[in-house]
Amino acid sequence: MTDRPTWFQRFLLPGFAFKAVVIGGGYATGRELAEFFLPSGPWGGLLAMGLATVIWSVVCVATFLFARATDSEDYRTFFRNLLGPAWPAFEIAYVLFIVLILAVFGAAAGAIGEAMFGWPPIVGALALVLGIAGFVTFGNTAVERLFKYVSIFLYAVYAIFVVLAFARFGERIGTGFSTPAPADGWAMGGLTYASYNIIGAVVILPVVRHMTSRRDAVVAGLLAGPLAMIPAALFFTCMVAYYPQIGAEALPSDFLLRQLGAPAFHLAFQAMIFLALLESGTGGVHAVNERIAHVWSLRRREDFPQALRLLVAAVVLVGSIFVADRFGLVALIAKGYRLLAWIFLAVYVLPLMTYGVWRLRTGRAARAAIP
């Protein structure tokens, strides 16, 4: 007899896993926050974050409910049930997404290694590759433990960072929020940021197996948005101390840490960023492995071998790191993410929130589910 899922697995793990996917290279370093929220000013940026949080929670609830109703524990099964014969459209978009985000993660890891230790960028990127490959090789259990323990460390580090920032330059933060700034464009910034990151809800579908009821899916979905956005909002608040010049920094986190003048905490924060990159990359590659593992088990009636999990991870990771080395962090975030936002709105959010919700309301989701 299988153990009943714990309250943590049912309610908090989905939010931690979702946060693990979206925090990535640009969120953890502050680069995404500078790109999508800072142009609207301090208050406009917070409004954009609030909008993104609401979108995440609503779409996560619908995604988890639809996944439970159709017994979809990987993105291939989910989109076969949602899009029918058109499901390969999502597969193509996801391949673009995974290459782009892993390239961003590789660029961020390389930038951290260069800033902290003077390493060539490729060294930090390869260290990240080895870490991701190690975790995804051992499947769901190893990945979920990574999400849990890194999340605890991450929230603790962000909390300490906020305390130190307010102690060191709290007056500047207050001045930043009182400085007149254009607040226009915040809605588009929030919508764009939410749209390309919402794919995290289907990346983490393996955790849906822990949910025991529709209520679990609703509660977990509602919590997912705030759990993912709280660290970003705290970090953004600290960034306001150096608004607007911090917007030009490739690594806003490193800039703020230098202002703090706390070398030991500087190392701890950069370690947290590296672990955030690790859990985000692990979530994305694990989703690919679970998609292949599902088909493998259906056709061969056996588990997907660990050696093949490692091989898939190696191919995806190495290709993406070369993209990172070629284009760099700022260019990847500025150009690639906006395109993905519109693609995911078209092939995921719009169909789910119309056709998918209609099927849930009418009870057709479970009856029409494709095994």
Q: Could you read off the pLDDT of 277-293 as tens digits, one per residue?
A: 999 999 999 999 998 98
Task: Enter the DSSP assignment of 304.
Answer: P
Statement: the pTM of the whole predicted model exceeds 0.85: yes
Confidence of residue 81 (pLDDT cuts 50, 70, 90): very high
Which has the closest alpha carbon to 190: 49, 30, 335, 344? 49
**Averaged confidence pLDDT in the chain:** 88
Tell whether omega for the bond before 244 is within 30 degrees of 0, i.e. cis: yes
As a whole number of angstroms, the distance between CA 239 and CA 260 comes to: 12
pLDDT at 175: 93
As a whole number of angstroms, the distance between CA 137 and CA 307 comes to: 7
Q: Provide CB contacts within 8 A for 229, sequence distance 6+.
A: 49, 52, 53, 56
pLDDT tens column, 124-181 = 888 998 999 999 999 888 999 999 999 999 999 999 999 999 999 999 999 999 988 7
Task: Enter the DSSP assignment of 38.
Answer: G
pLDDT at 1: 39
Whether the pLDDT of residue 334 is over 80: the answer is no
Whether the pLDDT of residue 323 is over 70: the answer is no
Helices (H), 198-336: 200-203, 214-239, 252-260, 263-300, 306-327, 329-331
Cα-atom radius of gyration of the chain, to the nearest Å?
A: 20
Q: Which domains does the chain have, with CATH numbers?
A: 7-351 (1.20.1740.10)
Least reliable range by pLDDT among 2-16, 94-108, 232-246, 258-272: 94-108
pLDDT at 54: 98
Neighbours of 72 (CB within 10 A): 24
pLDDT tens column, 56-66 = 999 999 999 99
Q: How far apart are the first and last CA of the chain?
A: 24
Match 């060539």 to its residue by tokens.
120
Report the phi/psi class of residue 48: left, alpha or beta, with left for phi > 0 and alpha for psi in -120 to 50.
alpha
Indicate the length of the chain as a whole number: 371
As a whole number of angstroms, the distance between CA 331 and CA 192 comes to: 16
pLDDT tens column, 166-195 = 999 999 999 999 988 777 889 999 998 998
Neighbours of 51 (CB within 10 A): 18
Which has the closest alpha carbon to 365: 87, 67, 57? 67
Strands, E assignment, the chain: none
pLDDT at 366: 76
Q: Provide CB contacts within 8 A for 71, sequence distance 6+.
A: 77, 369, 371
Q: Which two tokens stand for residue 76?
A: 């291939």
Match 């974050």 to its residue by tokens.
49
Whether the pLDDT of residue 327 is over 70: the answer is no
pLDDT at 341: 80
Higher pLDDT: 152 or 250? It is: 152
Which has the closest alpha carbon to 87: 79, 75, 96? 79
Whether the pLDDT of residue 358 is over 70: the answer is yes
pLDDT tens column, 197-221 = 899 999 999 999 999 999 999 999 9
The percentage of residues in the chain with a pLDDT greater than 90, rounded to a whole number, is: 57
pLDDT at 57: 98
Which has the closest alpha carbon to 130: 341, 297, 310? 310
